[in-house]
Structure 1
Amino acid sequence: MLVMAAGVAIALCAVVIAGIMLADAASTTNFDARNLAPSLDHPFGTDRMGRDMLARTLAGLSTSVVVGLVAATVSSVIALALASAAALGGSRVDAVVSWLIDLTMGIPHMVLLILISYALGRGALGVMVGISVTHWPSLARVLRAEILQLREQPYISCSRALGVSRLRIAFTHVIPHVLPQYLVGLVLLFPHAVLHEASITFLGFGLSPEQPAIGVILSEAMGYLTSGAWWLAVFPGLALLAVVLMFDRAGALLRRMMSPEGVQG
């Protein structure tokens, strides 16, 4: 199981590194090689400007993964902070956090993402902020329930009786205890963040068209499918699906390793 998790992590790192290294090649035009079907020279074919689709796909995946990683990490930190505040801050704080969770979960992700991204002028910043402030509620709800159970443990009660501050209790006892659940939730946030980044970029509310993002590539490909250039959408779409499945697989493996049964096995 550990070998499989390491293999998935290495594959994801390889995608990001390859995309960074091929960033210049992804933007290089060659009008003598426009709209070429997949071949040995261009395994993913070329687009209307003669750009190599393999390089563009890897560069786009790298961009999507980096944006998704940053946004998911920020979102998970928000979830941990709010869950800790709700469970340790008293009934009023718990009521406010619970209301925020219900409010955010009651609004469709895509609608809120588009509104936030558009309000911030779109681009990478708008996408990352939008994903960060919309993807924390589910993880926050799980962590809150875990911390509420932990709060009733004798050593937490003793710490409160001895006058230990809530902030110190959170950093000393609570966060180390919920760290496994937090890490699993963080990894499982990645595929959602990557897919939502690609989705709003595809709709024109995300990354700018100049960037070789997967959403941009798929959006451009829609206008050429009727002309028979199927490779412009099929290969980038399959590559995005593979990356999302790798993230999902990594989260599932991490969850199994951190469960009591996985530890015993």
Structure 2
Amino acid sequence: MPKAKSNSLSILALQKFKKNFWGVLSFYFIVFCAIIAIFAYVLAPDNSQNANQMHLSIHSKPPGFEVKMLTIPSQDVSDQSFLSKIFFGEKNTDTEIPIDRYTLQNNTIEISPYSEGEIIELSKEIKFERFPKGLTSQEITDTYIKTQTFILGTDKYGRDLLSRMLVGIRISFSIGFVAVLISLILGISLGAIAGYYGGKVDAMIMWLINVTWSIPTLLLVIAITLALGKGFWQVFIAVGLTMWVEVARVVRGQVLSVKQMQYVTAAKALGFTNFRIITKHILPNSLAPVIVISAANFAGAILIESGLSFLGIGAQPPMPSWGAMIKDHYSYIILGKAYLAIIPGLGIMSLVMAFMLIGNALRDALDVKA
């Protein structure tokens, strides 16, 4: 006997979503970016905290740039755990020196620091005693002198741009999740209360919504950020506190419509509490538009954070942020090194576009009339 086909609305919506090419592609792209965000320090060539290894002699180099790099190990012993290194980066105190060439002498390595022919620097001597004991001169050079390739080039401070991009994706994902979570908690709660109870409660909440909505989003975020102070978590809270308004209005409208249904009247007749009616009967039937709005808000939060970082009140240095990377390098566009600003700009654009496309796909999939 053939298995009966389910007519569940959620399964039908999932089937419709799977048929949307751009929606499915965006979903896999977002999952791919999420994996990169989690394991950024494992994938990044520079796994130091915030990918902040600076080499000023090789600043603003083009993608694919190669240089010999001498690493002088630190004498400090780090007690950092393995998981801490994976998720938060390595507390790297080693000294890295880009070099043009080197020669081995008695108990020393004579190096010529990288200068690209602009400035002829005096050679330096590094004694073997600065390296672990028991290594021959050949073992020292094989272990501590490597040719390093900067796939996306270096920024104006000589940091690896690829590593900064990989670690910076964490900021964009974090701001999206936290801001959307705050907006959903506030928006759904206030919208459901306003729509269900009506009267003075509805009027008061609508007044708060209209006042908040009348203030330009970026201006309100800047005001909240200045009140809370500059920093990582302050930006999350500020963005979340400005994105709940649209959620609240949509939820209120949905609740006003759904609470007239017969099953809600039956629930009241059975003596169920208002809290149970709202959470068990009304909200589950009102959240389809909220899911679509959340995807759009995720994209909006990434853009707002990038704008705040560009203005210098977002994530603070040395923490990598795509918006801050554009701020640091936008002047290079007219200096023949536009890629320094274009690469993080493309990162922001692709992530925002993915969330917008997945929002459109969810809207089509959850459209009951279709």
Q: Give the TM-score normalised by structure 2.
A: 0.67
Residue correspondence of structure 1 range 22-41 to structure 2 within 5 A: 22-23=40-41, 25=46, 26-39=51-64, 41=149
**Is 1:239–2:347 an aligned residue pair?**
yes
Give the secondary structure class of the aligned counterpart of 1:260.
coil
- What residue number does 1:230 align with? 338
Q: Which has the higher contact order (CA 8 A, sep 6+)?
A: 1
Instruction: In structure 1, give the amino acid aligned to 2:25.
Output: G
- What residue number does 2:18 align with? 2
Residue correspondence of structure 1 range 98-117 to structure 2 within 5 A: 98-117=206-225
Hey, which of these two has a bigger chunk of strand by percent?
A: 2
- What residue number does 1:78 align with? 186
**Is 1:91–2:199 an aligned residue pair?**
yes
Say whether the 8 Å CA contact 2:258–2:286 is kept in structure 1. no
Q: Deviations over 1:127-147 (max 9, x none)?
A: 111111111111211111111
How far residue 32 of structure 1 moved from its aligned partner, in angstroms, is 4.5
Q: 2:285 aligns with which of 177, 188, 201?
A: 177
- What residue number does 2:31 align with? 13
Say whether the 8 Å CA contact 2:310–2:326 is kept in structure 1. yes
Instruction: In structure 2, give the amino acid aligned to 1:21.
Output: F
Mind listing any 5+ residue stretches in structure 2 that lack a counterpart?
A: 1-16, 66-148
Q: Cα distance 1:81–1:124, how it changes in 2: closer, same or farther (>3 A)?
A: same
Q: Which moved more, 1:69-78 or 1:222-231?
A: 222-231
Say whether the 8 Å CA contact 1:118–1:126 is kept in structure 2. no
Instruction: In structure 2, give the amino acid aligned to 1:75.
Output: S
Mind listing any 5+ residue stretches in structure 1 that lack a counterpart?
A: none
Q: 1:195 aligns with which of 303, 306, 325?
A: 303
Q: Which structure has the bigger radius of gyration? A: 2
Instruction: In structure 2, give the amino acid aligned to 1:212.
Output: P
Hey, which of these two has a bigger chunk of helix by percent?
A: 1
| Identical residues among aligned pairs (%) | 30
Q: 1:153 aligns with which of 255, 261, 284?
A: 261
C-alpha distance in 2 between matches for 1:160 and 1:20: 46
Q: Give the TM-score normalised by structure 1.
A: 0.91
C-alpha distance in 2 between matches for 1:20 and 1:176: 31
Q: 2:238 aligns with which of 126, 130, 141?
A: 130
- What residue number does 2:316 align with? 208
Say whether the 8 Å CA contact 1:82–1:140 is kept in structure 2. yes
Q: Which moved more, 1:48-57 or 1:233-242?
A: 48-57
Instruction: In structure 2, give the amino acid aligned to 1:159.
Output: A
Q: Deviations over 1:194-237 (max 9, x none)?
A: 10011111101111121101111111113433433211101110
Aligned length: 262
